[in-house]
C-alpha cells in the first residue's frame, strides 16, 4: 500500500495514512533545506553562467565564464555524488512513511574497501539518479510544497476569519472586504467544508513526492522487479489456462470418445456371438473387436496421461501409489500431507513422479525406488530416489529438462544428484500457494 493508493479507499480519513503523509511532509523540511544548501551551491555556477549567456548582456569575460563552468563541473563531480549517496540513504528510510514497499539500498562497503566503494559510486547509474533527485528536491519539490502550503493557509484563514475580525482587524478574502464577524461567518463555514480535503491534500503531495523518490532512487532495479512481477503473473495465468484446457480435453475424451468406443466394442462383441464361429465374417469381427479393445486401453492410458481421474478423486497419495503399482521396478511410497495441495501444484507433483519413474525404468537399471512427498512450511517437497547406476544428465534425452520446465512453470525448483555409479535423487520443491 502507498499513500496514493490509500487515497482511493473510502476509509482514507480513518486510517493512519493522513498522519503518515503529514509526517513525511514535515520531515521533508530539514532534509530539503540541507539539499538546497548542497545542490544549490553545486548548481550556482551553472545558473550564473547560463543567466549571463541567455540575457546576452554580461560584464563577465570569457575566461570568467570558463572559470564558472569549471567550478560547476568540479562541484558536480565531487560534492554532488557523495551528497546524493547520503541523501538517497535517508530518503529510502523515510520513504516507508508513504510507501510500504521496500526499496533496497546500496550494498555496504567491504571491510577496508571504503575507497573502492566510493569509486564504484561514480560509475553507478543509481548514484547519478540520486543526484537528479537531489536537484529536484532542492528546486521542484519546494515549489510544489509552497503551492500546497498556500492552499492550507487559505483554509486556515477562512476558518479563523470571524476571530480575526472580532479582534478589530478587517481582512480581505479574495475580492471581498470583511469587517464584521457576521460577514466572515459564510467564509468560515466554507473553510469548515473544505477542512476534510486537507488530509487528501497531504496524501496527494506526499504520495507524489514518494512516487518521484521511488522512480529516481529505485530506477532500473525497480523497473526490473516490476517486469518480473508481470512475467510471474502472466506465467501463472498461462499455467491456470493450460490446466483448465487439459481438464476439458480429458473430460471430453472420457465422457465422449471413450464412451462411444465402449459402445462400439460391445456391439462388435454381440455381433461376433451372432455369427457362426468358423465363418470369415466372425473372424473379421473378432479382429475388429480385439483392435477396439486395444484402442480403448490406449485411450485410457492417454486420458490418464492428460490428467488421471484417481488424482482428482483421491489425491496425490492414491495417484502415486497407482503409479507405483504399474511400475516395473519395486517402488516404496511415503506420502505424508496434512491436506491436499492446490490443484495445479498437486498435478505438477504427480507428473514429476510419473516422469521420474519412467526414467528409472528406462535408464537407471535400479532394483528399488523410494518416492516421498511432504510439506515443509510453504513448500511441497517431492523426492524420487533409486539405487541405479546414476549418471543422469538433463541433456541426454531423459525428459529431465521438460520436467524442470514443468516445475518452473508453477514457480518451483528442481535439483538432481546422480553421480556415476549412483544412487540418483531427484528433488522438486513446489510452492504450496
The model's pLDDT over 356-397, given as tens digits with 9 standing for 90+, comes to: 888 888 877 888 889 888 888 888 898 988 888 887 777 665
pLDDT (mean) for 126-150: 88
- 32 and 181 part of one domain: yes
pLDDT category at 128 given cuts 50, 70, 90 is: confident
- Does residue 401 fall inside a structural domain? yes
What is the distance between the alpha carbons of residues 54 and 74, in angstroms, rounded to a whole number? 23
Query: pLDDT at position 226, please?
Result: 59
- 137 and 268 part of one domain: no
Task: Please name which of 282, 310, 416 lies closest in space to residue 360, comparing C-alpha atoms.
Answer: 416
* Domain end marker among 268, 288, 306: 306
- Does residue 358 fall inside a structural domain? yes
- Does residue 300 fall inside a structural domain? yes
- 180 and 132 part of one domain: yes
Cα–Cα distances (Å) from 408 to 350, 352, 360, in that order, read 15, 12, 22
Residue % of the chain over a pLDDT of 90: 5
Cα–Cα distances (Å) from 210 to 16, 141, 150, 201, 224, in that order, read 16, 11, 21, 14, 19
pLDDT (mean) for 288-293: 76
pLDDT tops 80 at residue 173: no
Query: pLDDT at position 145, please?
Result: 92
Average pLDDT over the chain reads 79
Query: pLDDT at position 110, please?
Result: 67
- 289 and 334 part of one domain: no
* CB-based contact 429:412 (threshold 8 Å): yes
- 301 and 350 part of one domain: no
Strand order in the sheet with 369-376: 331-336, 369-376, 379-386, 424-431, 413-417
Please name the helix (run of DSSP H) or strand (run of DSSP E) that holds residue 28, with its range, or none: helix 17-55
pLDDT tops 80 at residue 138: yes
- 273 and 330 part of one domain: no
- 70 and 183 part of one domain: yes
Query: pLDDT at position 146, please?
Result: 92
Query: pLDDT at position 143, please?
Result: 92
* Domain end marker among 251, 286, 306: 306
pLDDT tops 60 at residue 40: yes
Say which residue, 9 or 116, is predicted with more confidence: 9
pLDDT tops 70 at residue 211: yes
- 315 and 389 part of one domain: yes
- 338 and 427 part of one domain: yes
- 272 and 362 part of one domain: no
CATH number, domain at 350? 3.30.565.10
Query: pLDDT at position 242, please?
Result: 59
What is the distance between the alpha carbons of residues 299 and 254, in angstroms, rounded to a whole number? 9
- 264 and 363 part of one domain: no
Query: pLDDT at position 313, please?
Result: 76
- 159 and 23 part of one domain: yes
- Does residue 222 fall inside a structural domain? no
Q: 153-190 b/e with 16+ CB inside 10 Å = b?
A: eebeebbebbeebeeeeebebeeeebeeeebbeebbeb
- Does residue 223 fall inside a structural domain? no
pLDDT tops 80 at residue 150: yes
Query: pLDDT at position 25, please?
Result: 92
**Domain limits at 277?**
259-306
What is the distance between the alpha carbons of residues 177 and 128, in angstroms, rounded to a whole number? 51
pLDDT tops 60 at residue 223: no
Give the angle subtended at the CA of 223 by the CAs of 220 and 227, to the nearest 5°.
Answer: 135
Pairing of strands 379-386, 331-336: unpaired
Query: pLDDT at position 205, please?
Result: 92
- Does residue 160 fall inside a structural domain? yes
Q: How many domains does the chain have?
A: 3
- Does residue 226 fall inside a structural domain? no
Q: Which of 52-66, 166-180, 405-419 has the highest mean predicted lDDT (pLDDT)?
A: 405-419
pLDDT category at 78 given cuts 50, 70, 90 is: confident
* Domain end marker among 182, 215, 248: 215
Amino acid at each position: 500500500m502507498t499513500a496514493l493508493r490509500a487515497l482511493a479507499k473510502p476509509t482514507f480519513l480513518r486510517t493512519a495514512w493522513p498522519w503518515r503523509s503529514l509526517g513525511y511532509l514535515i520531515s521533508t523540511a530539514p532534509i530539503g533545506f540541507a539539499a538546497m544548501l548542497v545542490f544549490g551551491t553545486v548548481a550556482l555556477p551553472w545558473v550564473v553562467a547560463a543567466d549571463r549567456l541567455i540575457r546576452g548582456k554580461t560584464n563577465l569575460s570569457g575566461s570568467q565564464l570558463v572559470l564558472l563552468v569549471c567550478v560547476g563541473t568540479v562541484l558536480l563531480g565531487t560534492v554532488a555524488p557523495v551528497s546524493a549517496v547520503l541523501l538517497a540513504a535517508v530518503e529510502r528510510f523515510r520513504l516507508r512513511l508513504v510507501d510500504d514497499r521496500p526499496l533496497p539500498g546500496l550494498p555496504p562497503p567491504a571491510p577496508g574497501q571504503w575507497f573502492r566503494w566510493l569509486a564504484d559510486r561514480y560509475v553507478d547509474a543509481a548514484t547519478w539518479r540520486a543526484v537528479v533527485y537531489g536537484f529536484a528536491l532542492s528546486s521542484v519539490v519546494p515549489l510544489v510544497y509552497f503551492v500546497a502550503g498556500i492552499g492550507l493557509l487559505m483554509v486556515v484563514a477562512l476558518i479563523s476569519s470571524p476571530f480575526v475580525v472580532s479582534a478589530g482587524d478587517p481582512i480581505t478574502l479574495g475580492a471581498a472586504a470583511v469587517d464584521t464577524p457576521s460577514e466572515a461567518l459564510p467564509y468560515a463555514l466554507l473553510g469548515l467544508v473544505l477542512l476534510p480535503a486537507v488530509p487528501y491534500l497531504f496524501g496527494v503531495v506526499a504520495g507524489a513526492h514518494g512516487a518521484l523518490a521511488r522512480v529516481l532512487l529505485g530506477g532500473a532495479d525497480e523497473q526490473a522487479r516490476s517486469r518480473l512481477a508481470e512475467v510471474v503473473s502472466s506465467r501463472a495465468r498461462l499455467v491456470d489456462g493450460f490446466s483448465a484446457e487439459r481438464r476439458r480435453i480429458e473430460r471430453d475424451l472420457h465422457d465422449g470418445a471413450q464412451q462411444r468406443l465402449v459402445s462400439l466394442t460391445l456391439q462388435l462383441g454381440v455381433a461376433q456371438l451372432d455369427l457362426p464361429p468358423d465363418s470369415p465374417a466372425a473372424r473379421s469381427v473378432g479382429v475388429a473387436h480385439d483392435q477396439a479393445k486395444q484402442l480403448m486401453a490406449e485411450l485410457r492410458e492417454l486420458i490418464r496421461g492428460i490428467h488421471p481421474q484417481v488424482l482428482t478423486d483421491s489425491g496425490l497419495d492414491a495417484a502415486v501409489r497407482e503409479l507405483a503399482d504399474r511400475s516395473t521396478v519395486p517402488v516404496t511410497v511415503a506420502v505424508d500431507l496434512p491436506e491436499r495441495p492446490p490443484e495445479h501444484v498437486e498435478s505438477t507433483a504427480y507428473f514429476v513422479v510419473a516422469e521420474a519413474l519412467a526414467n528409472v525404468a528406462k535408464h537407471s537399471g535400479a532394483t528399488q525406488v523410494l518416492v516421498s512427498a511432504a510439506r515443509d512450511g510453504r513448500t511441497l517437497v517431492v523426492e524420487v530416489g533409486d539405487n541405479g547406476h546414476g549418471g543422469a544428465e538433463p541433456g541426454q534425452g531423459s525428459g529431465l529438462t521438460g520436467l524442470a520446465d514443468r516445475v518452473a512453470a508453477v514457480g518451483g525448483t528442481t535439483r538432481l544428484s546422480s553421480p556415476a555409479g549412483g544412487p540418483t535423487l531427484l528433488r522438486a520443491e513446489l510452492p504450496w500457494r
